[in-house]
Every structure is written in C-alpha cells, then in structure tokens.
Amino acid sequence: MQSVNELEARELVTIRQFGDVAEALLAKGCLDSAGIECFLADLNVARVDWPVSRGVRLQVNPEDAETSIAMLDQSQLDDSET
C-alpha cells in the first residue's frame, strides 16, 4: 500500500477537459475498464457550482497518457461511425 506522501507526490497529466460531467464519466469508465488508473479533477466543483467551474479534467499517470489518449480517440471514432 502506498503512503500518503507517495500519493501526494504522484504527478498526473491532464489528457482531456470536459464541459459535461456525463462525458467525463464515460471517458473515465472507458479507461477504468482498460485497467488504466485515472482521476476526474474538479468533479465536485462542477457538480456543486457548475457556472463557476472550468469543467472537469481527466488525469492519468504520465506513463499512461499516450495509451489513454489513443484509446479515447479510437472510442470517439467508433462513436462517429455509428
């Protein structure tokens, strides 16, 4: 188990920013199902006070960023073909 200091020290990169909470949750679910650890930053602010929020940021570990972006891009392509 990781210590609190290790969790705080972990650097995450933002790979997407969403103006819609539902879209952010779908993208997170896509990455979660692939076993990629990801986080939605600013989700609580967006839910509580949407007008003052700047959207929801999807963040991953730097080593997962390229794979995550490719997966989400492919998912968008698949959706546009239907």
Domain that holds residue 27: 4-80
Which domain CATH number covers 50?
A: 3.30.70
Number of domains, the chain:
1
Worst-scoring range by mean pLDDT, 7-16, 53-62, 64-73?
7-16
Judged against a pLDDT cut of 90, whether residue 20 lies above it is answered with no
DSSP 19: S
**Angstrom distances, CA of residue 43 to CA of 7, 20, 21, 65, 67:** 19, 10, 7, 20, 23
Share the mean pLDDT of the chain: 82
- pTM comes to 0.75
pLDDT band, residue 17 (cuts 50/70/90):
very high
